[in-house]
Amino acid sequence: MVTIGTVISRVKNQVKAVRQDAFLTDRYVYSVVVKYSQLLMRRQDSQNKLMKFNSIWRTLDCLELIEVDKIEACCAGIKSGCTIHRTKEKLPTMLEGYWGPLIRTVSSIDASEELYATTPGQYTSMTKTTGFKYNKFKYFWYLNGYLYMPNLDWDAIKVEAIFTEDATNDANACTKKQDLGINVPEFLLAEIEAMAIKDLGSRMSIPTDLSDDNINPNR
């Protein structure tokens, strides 16, 4: 996987190739790269093309659950005092796709049972149907950074999603950010880098109609 540092260096080098006095911090260049990464990945999500790229999905193996009042979870028609399960901590910020946060799976810790995405309104409507008592599926929804599970009594869950920043885990605790892999399908990198170079160039009054010999995102 291409590292964050490699992408930053490629973009900076291309900008400096035509503007040697350009002063660009790694943080700023990365923020521009992230902006266009998210733009193109949202476009891919709208075409249902992201699910197959396993390398961009990150797994949080054990998210602790607590009980909270259902009123907090926006359950219409539910009296205060009824409880619902919720993740104890907010999830790391996720990439927003065409239909909402990009979550591929929410499941039991051993991945043997999967939950289905819904909304508070949809779930409330389901509970009012005559056949709901026979419904064995488990559900979740995302609200204000948390996941809510209305019909679950587990202590923890596993979540697989695309996060805008690298989700904290022990493996990355001692790794510099520049050395982490950039969380983007590789076939999008050339276009992302070209867009970032054009953006930075326009901010610095660098001509944007340069030939491919001067700007080559793959170089």
Q: How far apart are alpha carbons 37 and 35 in whole angstroms?
A: 6
- pLDDT tens-place string over residues 35-52: 999 899 989 888 888 888
State residue 201's pLDDT score: 83
pLDDT over 90 percentage in the chain: 43
Residue 57 near residue 41 (C-beta atoms within 8 A): no
Residues 169-200 as b/e (b if ≥16 CB within 10 A, e otherwise) read eeeeeeeeeeeeebbbbeebbeebbbbbbbbb
Q: Kindly report which listed range (50-54, 162-166, 212-216) carries the lowest average pLDDT score.
A: 212-216
Mean per-residue pLDDT for 59-75?
A: 85
Burial of 96 (0-12, 13-18, 19+ CB in 10 A): middle
Structure tokens at 112: 């043997």
Tell me, what amino acid is at 93?
A: T
Contacts of 15 (CB under 8 A, 6+ apart): 22, 24, 197, 200, 201, 204, 206
Determine the average pLDDT of the residues in 164-186: 67
Q: Rounded CA gap, 166 and 186, in Å?
A: 17
Which tens digit of pLDDT belongs to each residue from 127-149?
899 999 899 999 999 998 999 99
Single-letter residue type at 91: L
Q: Where are the beta strands (DSSP E) in 9-145?
A: 58-69, 83-87, 103-107, 116-117, 139-143
What per-residue confidence (pLDDT) applies to 121? 87
Using a pLDDT cut of 70, give the percent of the chain over it: 82
The C-alpha atoms of residue 138 and residue 178 are separated, in whole angstroms, by: 39
pTM to 2 decimal places: 0.74
